[in-house]
Chain A
Amino acid sequence: GENVEQHPSTLSVQEGDSAVIKCTYSDSASNYFPWYKQELGKGPQLIIDIRSNVGEKKDQRIAVTLNKTAKHFSLHITETQPEDSAVYFCAARSTGNQFYFGTGTSLTVIP
C-alpha cells in the first residue's frame, strides 16, 4: 500500500516568515494530494489540494507543489500569522477511496 512520510514533525517560525512542510509518497499511482490543518479540539480541515496533472497550486498565502518524478509534494505558507499555528497533515490517495496520511507537522508561529 501507499506510505506517506512527512517532515519536519515540529516547526517554529517567526511571524511574517515562510513555512515549508514536505511529504514523500511511495505509490506512483497516487493521483490526489490534499493538505489538512488541524486545530486543537477540531477535526482536520482541508486547506488546499493538488492533483497529479498539476505541478503547483496557489491560494492566497498557501501553495502546494508536486514533483511526480521524485514522488514528493510540499506545502508553502508565506507571511505566516499566529493563527496559522496548528498541526498540518499531508495525504495521498491512490486507487480506492482511502487517504494515507503523513504523521503531521506541528507549526508554531511566534508573534
Chain B
Amino acid sequence: EPEVTQTPSHQVTQMGQEVILRCVPISNHLYFYWYRQILGQKVEFLVSFYNNEISEKSEIFDDQFSVERPDGSNFTLKIRSTKLEDSAMYFCASSVSGINYGYTFGSGTRLTVV
C-alpha cells in the first residue's frame, strides 16, 4: 500500500535554530498538507499546498514557517527560528483530490526544541 514517508522521525534542535522537516507524498497525489499535534492536544492544520503554491494556511503558519516542493517528490516544512512552543509532532499528509477525500498521513516527525 502506498505510504507517505517522513524524515527524520525525531529531531532535537536548539531554540533559534532552523529545521527542515521532509516528506515524500504518495506519487499520484496532488494535494499536500502539514499538520501538527502538540502533546495531549488536537491535531491542528498548518498549511495545504497545491499546484506549487499554498492554497490555505492557518493562523499558526506565520512568517517563521515556509513550505516547498523542491523537486517532483519531496515536500518540506521549514521553521526558520524555532521556539520552545514549536515542540510537537508534525504530520505530513497527501490526497488525490482536495474535495471529499481523506488524507494519507505520514508517521510524523517529533520535533523537540530545547
B13-21, B41-49, B63-71, B75-83 - interface stretch: B41-49
Q: Are the C-beta atoms of A43 and B42 separated by less than 8 Å?
A: no
- A110 to B42, alpha carbons, bound, how many Å? 26
Residue ID in chain A nearest B50 by CB atoms:
A97
* Min distance, Cβ A36 to any Cβ of chain B, angstroms: 7
Q: Does B51 contact A (CB under 8 A)?
A: no
Residues of B contacting A43 with CB < 8 Å? 4, 6, 91, 93, 105-108
Binary contact readout A18-41 vs B (1 if CB under 8 angstroms, 0 otherwise): 000000000000011010100001
Contact B107 A31 (CB under 8 A): no
State which of A49, A96, A98, A102 has its C-beta within 8 Å of the C-beta of B102.
Answer: A49
Within A83-105, the residues touching B (CB, 8 Å) are 89, 91, 93, 96-104
A108 to chain B, nearest CB (A): 17
> Contacts A44-B91, A98-B56: A31 and B100 contacting too (C-beta < 8 A)?
yes
Which B residues are closer than 8 A to A by beta carbons? 4, 6, 31, 33, 41-45, 48, 50, 55-56, 58, 91, 93, 98, 100, 102-108
